[in-house]
Amino acid sequence: MITRDKIIELIEEAEESPTLDYKEDLHLETDADKAEFVKDVIALANSGELAHIIVGVEDKTGKCVGLKTTHNSEQLNQILKDRCDPSISVEYAEKNILGYKIGVIEFKGEKPPYIVSVPDKFGGPLSSDSKKHFFIHRGTIFVRNYNINEGARRADVDEIYEKIKYVSLQADLQLSHEVSIKPLGDSKEVEISFFLQNNGDVIATDTYVWIRFESAKEIVRCAKGWEDISNINHNIPTVQNMLEVPVVRPIRSNCHGVVVKVENDAQQIEARVIIGATNMRTRDGSYVISLKES
């Protein structure tokens, strides 16, 4: 799910990157407009990373101007359908940010390289200027070189395949937990023991785990290895653990416990978790801790 906080975070970067593209608006009236959209999505998807197109933001300054058009995920995925190989699915959300309507398109290239798969060519006159034409052609590979989406050169294709080779041999760390609960009248202390298991192909070294407890009141204490860093994260209960030993497949590594305080009627703790290691793409996502004792 694309949250309002995530959109603000992307806008505050104020600079485009290989996985972030700003657009003042998104016109999809003509075939040429749709062809440009397909080109942009393919280019960012070929990064192999989580990518975003922010609509309603000036591309040169990162300044919010607000979008004038309205879209939805179904519409955008219909445009991409049968025009990208492999297929690409996007998620779209519109939020009011600082008084402006801002749209965000989020997607990840799981299986690069992506190529144009139209029958021959697709496009025509642009809605912004009918004298200008834009076409995409069957078999074209687009890439994003920093902040420019363009046709791939041989070196770009080689880089994509090198990345695929690297990704195919990587660590795959999965986080799990057990809980123990101590009632305290109008609140309760929850001791959470975390475990990491490596389901990947290589040993995970220089591993770190960062957890922000969105619905906890405070960090009570941390076991060995964990550090309370709430004071540098706007006093939101946050901890991190820099593991000193490698995580080897298939052994489940005990990361020990963190104790947090929650409301007495809380049924779960919502958290954001970031996990990173050598030879592993950083994993960043939501994490739910059920308050049913293990």
Domains in the chain, start-ordered, CATH in brackets? 4-168 (3.30.950), 173-290 (2.60.40.10)
| DSSP category for residue 64 | B
Low-confidence ranges of the chain (pLDDT < 70): 1, 165-169, 293-294
**Alpha carbon distance 206, 56 (integer Å):** 39
Return the ∠ at Cα 276 (arms to 226 and 267), rounded to 5°.
60
Polymer length of the chain: 294
Q: Are strands 133-137 and 121-125 parallel, antiparallel or unpaired?
A: antiparallel
What are the start-end ranges of the H helices in the chain?
4-12, 31-45, 73-80, 154-168
What are 24's two structure tokens?
């003042």
Return the axis-axis angle of helices 73-80 and 31-45, rounded to nearest 10°. 90
| DSSP category for residue 57 | B
**pLDDT score for 255:** 82
**pLDDT score for 3:** 81
**pLDDT score for 116:** 96
**pLDDT score for 169:** 65
**Alpha carbon distance 109, 61 (integer Å):** 26
Nearest to 69 by CA among 40, 35, 22, 103: 103
SS3 156: helix
**pLDDT score for 130:** 80
**pLDDT score for 165:** 64
